[in-house]
Each structure stands twice: as structure tokens, then as C-alpha cells.
Amino acid sequence: MHGLMESPDIEKQRHSQEQLASLRNNLNDVLIKDVTIGEMHAEYISVNRAHMKKYVILYCHGGGYSTGSCLYARSITEKLANSTSMDVMAFDYRLAPEHPYPAATEDAMRAWNHLMLLGYGARDVIVAGDSAGGNLALSLVLKLKEQGRLLPRGIVLMSPWTDLTSSGKSFEAKAEVDPVLDRDYIDRMVAAYAPDMDLKQPLISPLFGDFEGFPPVYIQVGENEILLSDSLRLHQALVDANVSVKMDTYKGMWHVFQMSPVKAAREAMDKNAEFIYDICR
């Protein structure tokens, strides 16, 4: 995985990710429907069986804000649709460095507004994301709160990137055991997404946001990732704000291990479904 991340050529990274994603076989019982929101591509992932249509999961893909897509995210979105029996909507937000902050947050708001126009209420939506998508999920909810709007029913975060200042202890403590990320890669992604900006702005680094009144949050993180502190510190910030929050740390796992065909990934997706079922009662 380091080989894929080490190239400073973002276009090459994007191409490699799309090639990897195209080699995957879609789950047989999953249907995918393309939609356009303004000029933004999005897709609905649904199970091809009777399923719950009252709720929808709005999914924000990862990729350091510079790579990633709906196609690349299918290794998670298909599993999420299958485990929850709910529709999942993913969207291709604009990527850095061509489109730095706040482009992604603006596009996430477009996706949210699209769901509202379809007739979903805020409480019918679960916002989810991995890595930079976890950052974007939190940024979206912080932006909704800032605007005085109703918030989603809950938030599901997988290895969220919450602190672009890279001040967590795990950046050093886990540097030798993380098989996916390293400090150089993170620094390049920060420079592309938020050049010459105050990295402590809550919509850039949600760790520094005001979480009072937030909906329930569930966090999953791998024990062996340099972003471990981003989850640990977020968990504590949510506890301090009296938010209902649960976090599971998976022993020996890496960044967004849920994408991988391993037992822990299947267990994690079942846990995501359990959390979602619980808050939707």
C-alpha cells in the first residue's frame, strides 16, 4: 500500500485507485444507479431484495481529499448497503489541489440538500465516511449546525482524519507499524487541500469543532495506524461535549481496513449495522 501512496503524482494515484476498483467484482445482490446533482456525479447503492427505504446513508469517500471516487468507495458502500439493508448514496466531490477547501464541504452540502429535496428528513439520514471522508462527514454536520439546520440521525466514521495539524502522538508512535499511511503522504494531502490556511479551522480539522448537540457517533479505527490519535482525541472531545459516542479499536488493523477482504472487516461492517439499527429504533 505504501507504494501506491508514495507517488507524488496525484493523477497517477487517482488512475491506480480506479484501476484497482475496476478489478473488483460487485456483490451480486447490489444494484447501482447513477444520478447527477447539478454537475456532480453521485450513485445510489441498493440491495436487490426487500429492504428498508425510510432511511438513507450519505457516504463520503476517502482519499486525502485529493483522490478517491464513488467507484473506489464501493468496497465499503456495497458492504454497508448489504449489512444494513439500506440505500447508500455516495458522491464525487471536487478534489484538491484543483479544488481546495471549501469545495468538498460545499459539495457535501449539495448532496445533503439533494436528499432533502427528495423528501428525506434530516433524521432519516445517517452520514458516514472513511479517512478524509470521515473528516468531510464531520465538517458537513458542523456546517449544518452552524447554519442552524436539523442534524442527521447519526454519524459513522471509519479511520477518520480529524486533525490536519498532525499533532497526535500516534504520528510518531505508529510510524513504523502503519502499512498504509506515512507522514510525507499526509503532509502532501494537507498542502493540496488547505494551502496556507489555518488548519485549526473546525471545517478543516473537525477535531477542534464545537460538538454540543451532535447526534450519536460511532468510530472505528485500526490499532496500527498513524491516525489513531485522530480517533482517540475525537472520542474524548465528543465525550466532553456530552455526545453519545462509541469507539472500537481493532487490534492489528490498519487504516480503513474495512475495505479489505478480512474477517475483521466483515465484523466491523456488522458493528456499523448494529449501531445504525440501534439509533433508528
CA-wise closest residue to 8 among 192, 140, 207, 180: 192
Q: Are 111 and 42 in contact (CB under 8 A)?
A: yes
CA-wise closest residue to 186 among 135, 114, 249, 125: 135
SS3 state at 126: strand
248: its cell numbers: 472500537
Query: What φ, ψ does residue 136 adopt, rounded to 5°?
Result: -65, -40
Cα three-residue angle 89-64-146, rounded to 5 degrees: 65
Q: Are 30 and 48 in contact (CB under 8 A)?
A: yes
One-letter amino acid for residue 90 of the chain: A
24: its cell numbers: 473488483
Peptide bond preceding 206 in cis form (omega within 30 of 0): no
Neighbours of 53 (CB within 10 A): 11
Q: Which sequence positions are flagged as catalytic?
A: 131, 225
SS3 state at 182: coil
